[in-house]
Amino acid sequence: MDWHQLWVILSTPDNIPIASLLLLVPFYAWYGFRQALANDRLIEQLEADPVLAKTHHRKTQPWQPHWPKEVHVWPYLLKVEFLAAIIVTAILFVWSITLNAPLEEPSNPSLTMNPSKAPWYFLGLQEMLVYFDPWMAGVVLPTLIIVGLMAIPYMDVNPLGNGYYTYKQRKFAIWAFCIGFIGLWVLMVIIGTFIRGPGWMWFWPGMTWDHNRLIFEVNRDLHDLVGITSIWGKAVFGALAVGLYFVLAGWAVHKIITLTEFSRKVYERMTLLQYLALQFFLVFMLLLPVKIVLRLLFRIKYLWVTPWFNI
Amino acid sequence: MAEEGKQEQPEQKTATGLLERVKEEIEPLKEKFQQDLKGLKQPEKTQLYRSMFRVKHDETPRSRSLGVISNVFLHLHPARVNRDAVRYSYTWGMGGISFYLFIVLTFTGILLMFYYHPTKADAFRDILYLEHDVPFGKLLRNMHRWAAHLMIITVWLHMFRVFLTGSYKKPREFNWCVGVILLVLTMLLSFTGYLLPDDQLGFWAVTVGTNMARATPLLGHEGPLGPQLGMTPFNDVRFALLGGSIVESNALLRAYIWHCIAIPVIATTFMIVHFWRVRKDGGISGPAPVMLEKEVRWDRLDESTVRGRG
């Protein structure tokens, strides 16, 4: 166990935000879900008792009948905002006095940094480079992430859960988003920061970053498993394999979308376009974990090899 | 002599007359001064104060509302909000903190611009100069960098909160899209700033980052079908980003201008829309009263989930 190496990585000033991300994301996830579960208990109570549902104010926050529903922005909101500004300023001052922004040697194109890492918030994309070619990891998938995020409100036809935390009424949406945000984005950033060392190799926390380390990984492409060698054979076989993935993943996604009676109700409300868009983005999102598993467990590099592009 | 004496007398007379006249005229001035002094004890009644603030700041509901509505900086807020929305637990304050950090970054960024030349010869030296010679230069640079990192975290968490509360649902779909664009702009702002110190860290991060652009399908010289469309390292999309085929002085200048002018202007525009839409879409989304499954008309596809606020 190389504690020094661990300390070097953790205490690098630029890594502090990611170290704090390690605490902040779980904290706020817990904070949000705690309120979601409280609301879910209230919802259950109201569903079981229609009389109560008519009279209850329907929030977990305290309420008295003579209280106004709204409060004045001045002072009740402005004082909170003012306080927040002061606290953030204080945090920034303490942070800026105690930790210096990194400054390395002057830039030198002939001296490559190893590992040379993108800024931490893009490490998710750099980590995807392990599993995809740059045109996928650097261009197509980021574009799909942005477009997919923007499409969320137009694909989510579930009318419940607007303006309050809930898990019970939005299980599918919350699972899909948390897998994407926490599992495939924040986790990738954390792996890229704390796990990836020289040569972008995998170093468990506490392993020494050995610049001379070599890993003999024989990566195979999917067609190698069946012994296809001709270019056209590879291209056709790969297209079939990717097509099969789309069919299987689409089937799995459909099963999940229509898993419960409630989710079938939501599904009934969808237009064909909404359904197909949801399928499209989820199938592409699942491509990443599928390729991670294929690579790590079966050492398979490409599913589809053509003279122009590989997937 | 007699003539002289005659002349003197009227002079004395006029001199005493002047004193008396001054005394006489000072009396009312003194009174006015006293009045002014009294007025200063109630500064909110002066013309200066009234011309600035227009409204009384007493504790009546009307004044409290007017104080917010008639203030250019505060009028983004409604006069009154959902009583539970001011709790930290619902919004986590992440949107507001992100905006505050943007202001901090603009402020520190402008100060940094006074000490920085975006040229290969000067950039790195300017950072050293900033760190060692400029008063509070190190603090300034540190604060700019940490505020930028913090802003990315708060923007991510803001998105997470908005998702968990379902706030992107009708009628706020479009504002969610504006928010996604702002999220991307935030990261691009940070990314373009990364190169500016012109050190190894920034240079290689930007090299790694922009190398991906080589692989853009159709538009990059290493991307699928790029070469077939005539893309080379000297005319593809990466060339356009860097102003060259390598990260050099043109790239530094482009990063500088994107970072200091172009993206802030674009982001500010989107922020204006974002804040405006928060109000126009019915204010902050909650905490709203919970809805029950059986209360929704499931057969009506256009059944909106819009309700009155809170």
Among the residue ranges A122-126, A271-275, B192-196, the one predicted with the least confidence is: A122-126
Q: Closest to B80 (Cβ–Cβ): which among A71, A91, A146?
A: A71
Say which range, A122-131, B2-11, B121-130, has the weakest mean pLDDT. Answer: B2-11
Q: By C-alpha distance, which of B108, B190, B205 is closest to B153?
A: B190
Which percentage of chain A shows pLDDT scores above 70?
Answer: 100
Question: Of A153, A180, A179, whose CA–CA distance to B285 is shortest?
Answer: A153
pLDDT in tens, A167-213: 999 999 999 999 999 999 999 999 988 888 888 888 888 888 888 88
What is residue B294's predicted lDDT score, i.e. its pLDDT? 86
Quick check: B6 pLDDT over 60?
no
Q: Which of B162-171, B182-191, B230-239 has the lowest mean pLDDT?
A: B230-239
Band the pLDDT of B192: cuts 50, 70, 90: very high
Residues 53 to 72 of A: which have CB under 8 A from any B CB?
Answer: 53, 57-59, 61, 67-72
In angstroms, how far is CA A286 from the centroid of its own chain? Answer: 11
| Site from B68, B200, B305 to mutate, A interface, most A CB atoms within 10 angstroms | B200
Chain B residue numbers with beta carbons less than 8 Å from the beta carbon of A111 are 200
- Test A53 with B203 for CB contact under 8 angstroms: no
**Backbone phi, then psi, for A310, in 5-degree steps?**
-125, 145
d(CA A303, CA A223) in angstroms, rounded, equals 7
Q: B3: buried, middle or exposed (CB in 10 Å: 19+, 13-18, 0-12)?
A: exposed
Q: What is the three-class DSSP state of A266? A: helix
DSSP single-letter state for residue A169: G
- Mean pLDDT of the region B43-53: 83
Please measure the distance between the N-terminal and C-terminal CA atoms of chain A and give it in whole angstroms: 37
The pLDDT value recorded for residue A249 is 95
A25 or A9, which is more confident: A25
Question: Mind listing the pLDDT tens digit for each residue in A95-123?
Answer: 999 999 888 889 888 888 878 888 888 88
Q: How far apart are CA B175 and CA B142, in angstroms?
A: 33
* Per-residue model confidence as pLDDT tens digits over B136-167: 999 999 999 999 999 999 999 999 999 999 99
Q: Which residues of B274-294 are buried (b: 16+ CB within 10 A; e: fewer)?
A: bbebbeebbbbbbbbbbbeee
**CB contact A126 to B (< 8 Å):** yes
pLDDT of A298 reads: 85
- The mean pLDDT value of chain B amounts to 87
Three-state SS for B166? coil
Q: In angstroms, rounded to a whole number, what is the distance separating the alpha carbons of residues B36 and B30?
A: 10
Q: Which residue has the tokens 């709204």?
A: A70
Q: How far apart are CA B70 and CA B68, in angstroms?
A: 6
For residue B11, name the pLDDT band (cuts at 50, 70, 90): low
- Which chain B residues have a beta carbon less than 8 Å from that of A159? 169, 291, 296, 303-305
Res B307 pLDDT > 50: no
Distance from CA of A184 to the nearest CA of B (A): 14
**pLDDT at residue A213 in the model:** 82
Residue B82 parent element (H or E):
strand B80-82
Q: What is the pLDDT of residues A64-76, one digit of tens each?
A: 888 888 999 988 9
The yes-or-no verdict on residue B304 having pLDDT over 80 is no
Question: Is residue B215 within 8 Å of A141, Cβ to Cβ?
Answer: no
Cα–Cα distance measured from residue A118 to residue B76, given in angstroms and rounded to the nearest whole number: 37
User: Cα angle vertex A33, ends B165, B168, to 5°?
Assistant: 15
Q: How high is the mean pLDDT of chain A? A: 90
Of B241, B258, B210, the closest CA to residue B109 belongs to B258
Q: How far apart are CA A199 and CA A288, in angstroms?
A: 21
With a CB cutoff of 8 Å and minimum separation 6, the contacts of A17 are A120, B146, B149, B150, B152, B153
Q: Does an H or E element contain B80, and which?
A: strand B80-82
- Residue A36: the pLDDT is 95
User: Is the distance from CB of B49 to CB of B43 less than 8 angstroms?
Assistant: yes
**Contact state of A150 with B176 under an 8 Å Cβ cutoff:** yes
Query: B117 pLDDT exceeds 60?
Result: yes
Check: CB of residue B294 under 8 Å from CB of residue A159. Answer: no
- B238 inside 8 A of chain A by CB: no
- The minimum CA-CA distance between B276 and chain A, rounded to whole Å, is 17
Q: How many Cβ atoms sit within 10 Å of the Cβ of residue A161?
A: 28
* pLDDT, position A253: 95
pLDDT at B310: 36
SS (H, E, C) A96-155: HHHCCCCCCCECCCCCCCCCCCCCHHHHHHHHHCCCCCHHHHHHHHHHHHHHHHHHHHHH
Do B169 and A149 lie within an 8 Å CB cutoff? no
The two tokens of residue A72 are 């004045």
Q: Please judge whether B83 and A70 are an interchain contact, meaning their C-beta atoms are less than 8 angstroms apart.
A: yes
CA distance B258 to B47: 45
Q: Are the beta carbons of A139 and B217 separated by less than 8 Å?
A: yes
Asked if the Cβ–Cβ distance from A72 to B64 is below 8 Å, we say yes
Cα separation, B81 vs B310, whole angstroms:
9
ipTM of the complex: 0.94
What separation in angstroms does the CA of A107 have from each of A100, B93, B113, B207? 19, 39, 20, 11
- A50 half-sphere exposure, CB direction, 13 A CA radius: 3
pTM metric for this prediction = 0.90
Model confidence at B193, in pLDDT bands (50, 70, 90)?
Answer: very high
Query: pLDDT tens digits, residue range B83-99?
Result: 999 999 999 999 999 99
What digits encode the pLDDT tens for the residues B95-111?
A: 999 999 999 999 999 99
Give the tokens for residue B132. Answer: 């060692």
Q: How confident is the model at residue B8 (pLDDT cuts 50, 70, 90)?
A: low
B142 contacts A99? CB cut-off 8 A = yes
> What's the helix, strand, coil split of chain B in %, to 5?
65, 0, 35
pLDDT at B7 over 60: no
